[in-house]
Structure 1
Amino acid sequence: MSQPVPPPSGNPFAGADADAQYAPAPPPAPVRDNVVLGIVVAVVAALVGAGAYGALGGAIEREVGYAAIGVGFLIGFAAAKIGGRNPVLPFVSALLALPAVYLGQLVAIAVILGKTTDTAFADIFLDNFGTLTDAWSEAADGMTYVFLAISAAAAFAGAKKANA
C-alpha cells in the first residue's frame, strides 16, 4: 500500500537537504560619502553647465531662463550622485548654481557681442570683462534674478533627488 503524501507546509525549504551548500549573500553596495569629490564634480558640472547655457543663449541671441533650471539640476544631481548623501552637498550645489548661471549669461552676452561686432569671443570675455559685467547689469531684469533663484532651488532639489 502506498503512503499518502503529506500536504506542503508552506515552507519552500522544508524538503531541502540539510547539508546543501548555498552561495553567500553578496556584500552590500559601498556607501558613497565623499564630500570633497562631490564638490569637485559640482564645480565641473557648474562650468560645463555655464558654458552650455551661454552657448545656447548666444546661439539664439536671447536669454533662456528655463535652461537655468537645467543647469542647477545638473549641478545638484552630479554632486550628490558622486558625493553621496552628505547634507552639505545640496547647499553647496545651490550656492554653485548662482555663479554658474551668471557666468552662462556673461558667456551668452559675449557670444552675441562677438557676432555683432565681429570680435573674437576670447577678446570680449577676457579683455573686456568689466564692460561685459556692466552690460549684464543693464540687461538684467526681474526675471533674471528669478531664474537665478530658481536655478539654486533646482540644484538643491537635484541633489536631494539623486539620493532619493
Structure 2
Amino acid sequence: MSQNFTPPAPDSYTAAPAPAPARSGNIGLAIPGAAVTALAAGAAYGGIMSAINFQIGYLAAGVGFLVALVAVRLGGRNPILPVLSAVLTLGGVYAGYVLDTAIGIEKRQGIPVGELLTTDFANLNQYYVDNIDPISILFYGIGAYAAFQTARKAAN
C-alpha cells in the first residue's frame, strides 16, 4: 500500500520566532550594585578575619567573585566590568582590613568600632597603612584577579 505524500505549500508554514535579544544590562545599576556588594563582602571578610584572627586568601577571592557576579548580572556584557570589578574589589578588601583593624583596636584599647570608623577614621587608616604586611598586599592582588577573571569569563 503506497501513499502519496504531498508537501504543504510554502505559504502554510509558520515562521520561527525571532531569537531573544542579547541581554545588554544596565551599567548604571551595575556600578552601585557592585559597590554595595564590595562593601558588604568586605565587611564580612573583615569580620571573619577578626573572629578567627587569621587571614585567608580564599576569602579575598570570594569578595572578588561576589563583586564580579553582581556586576555582570546587572551590567551584562559591558567590557568595562572586569576592570570595574577588580577596582571595587580592592575597595572591598580594604574595607575588610580596616574593619579588622578597628575590631582589634577595640579589643585592645576599648575604643568603639563605630567611633574608629567615623570620627577617628583618619587615625585608623594611618595605623592600618603603617602596619600593613606583605601578605595583605598579596591578598589584594588575589581578590582583584579573581574579580577580573570572573567578570571576564561570565560576560562571555
TM-score interval (norm. to shorter): 0.7 to 0.9
Paired position in structure 1 for 2:46: 54
Q: Distance in 2 between matches of 1:15 and 1:61?
A: 79
Q: Distance in 2 between matches of 1:54 and 1:157?
A: 23
Q: Distance in 2 between matches of 1:137 and 1:148?
A: 14
Deviation at 1:71, TM superposition (A): 0.6
Paired position in structure 1 for 2:106: 114
Counterpart of 2:40 in structure 1: which amino acid? V
Deviation at 1:101, TM superposition (A): 0.7
CA contact 1:90–1:160 (8 Å) conserved in 2: yes
CA contact 1:78–1:159 (8 Å) conserved in 2: no
Deviation at 1:106, TM superposition (A): 0.2
CA contact 2:39–2:91 (8 Å) conserved in 1: no
CA contact 1:110–1:125 (8 Å) conserved in 2: yes
Structure 1 unaligned segments of length 5 or more: list them: 7-13
Alignment of 1:146 onto 2:124: no
Counterpart of 1:41 in structure 2: which amino acid? G
Q: Distance in 1 between matches of 2:43 and 2:60?
A: 12
Deviation at 1:70, TM superposition (A): 0.8
| Identical positions, percent | 34
Deviation at 1:138, TM superposition (A): 3.1
Deviation at 1:85, TM superposition (A): 0.5
CA RMSD of aligned residues (A): 2.5
Quickly say closer, same or farther: Cα 1:104–1:153, change in 2 above 3 A. Answer: same
Q: Distance in 1 between matches of 2:39 and 2:6?
A: 62
Deviation at 1:109, TM superposition (A): 0.9
CA contact 2:44–2:96 (8 Å) conserved in 1: yes
Which of 56, 69, 94 matches 1:77? 69
Alignment of 1:95 onto 2:84: no
Which TM-score applies when normalising by structure 2? 0.83
| Structure of larger gyration radius | 1
Deviation at 1:31, TM superposition (A): 1.7
Once the two structures are superposed, what CA deviation does each residue of 1:88-115 show, in whole Å capped at 9, x if it has no partner? Answer: 1111111111121111100011112222
Counterpart of 2:142 in structure 1: which amino acid? I
Structure 2 unaligned segments of length 5 or more: list them: none
Which TM-score applies when normalising by structure 1? 0.79
Paired position in structure 2 for 1:126: 118
Paired position in structure 1 for 2:32: 40
Counterpart of 1:80 in structure 2: which amino acid? V
Once the two structures are superposed, what CA deviation does each residue of 1:46-98 show, in whole Å capped at 9, x if it has no partner? Answer: 11111111111122223333311111121112101110001011111111111
SS in 2 for 1:127: coil
- Number of residue pairs matched by the alignment: 155
